Amino acid sequence: MRITSLKIAASVLFVAAALAMAPMASANSVTFNLSSNNLGISGSVGTVTITDSGLNQVTVSITMGAGFSVKLNGGDFAFNGPSGLTLAGVSSFTADANSGLNFDHLKTDQNISQFGQLVGKFAFDFTDVKGQPKGVVSADTVTFVLTGSGLSASEFTGVAIHFCTASGSSCSPNTGFATGTPGTSTVPEPGSLGLLGTGLIGLGGLVRRRFLSKTS
């Protein structure tokens, strides 16, 4: 009975170690709930999620709620927190089913007071999306990648977007600006998981040697 218990314990430890050292499926990210706007609309109009997607690289994903869309032509996508963002660092830009898009301009230290009484200046303001088909002036979902030296999702402290009060690609006569506060979701560091896995493997080896000594 004791030998069987040791054998089972060794197997469990090796499985746990393998799971601990397996690559993580997700990455560090921060989500901004767009619950403040200059139109007096209550509740959230959408979310902006920024996720680490590679070395010095993050993916920005904007999902608008029902009845709202992101303004593309003449639109603004503003960020606070990171440094060194550039137009050249934007890639993989999609808006709904349209890909290959980009921004026409990048403003720095943009005074957000023009967007209504929100939160002052934003360090980087990407403006005026180009490359979409004629007649497409807004989108329900927008995704793009930002690349910059040392860039990570944890650096972002604020966002603001220009939005339309209608879903789909045609925008609406009424547009506004929305911002929100971040809530961070963090995954355990790979280094910590590796140490855990190494420790479990070592413990499993000790149990296995005890098992073999009992059977010899």
pLDDT at 74 over 70: yes
- Mean pLDDT computed over 173-202: 64
Rg (CA), the chain: 24
- Classify burial at 188, counting beta carbons within 10 Å of its beta carbon; exposed 0-12, middle 13-18, buried 19 or more: exposed
**pLDDT tens digit string along 84-122?**
999 999 999 999 999 999 999 999 988 765 554 555 689
**pLDDT tens digit string along 47-56?**
999 999 999 9
In whole angstroms, what is the distance from residue 4 CA to residue 10 CA?
Answer: 10
Q: Which is more confidently placed, 1 or 75?
A: 75
For the record, the structure tokens of 93 come out as 């830009």
For the record, the structure tokens of 215 come out as 């059977």
Q: What is the pTM of this model?
A: 0.74
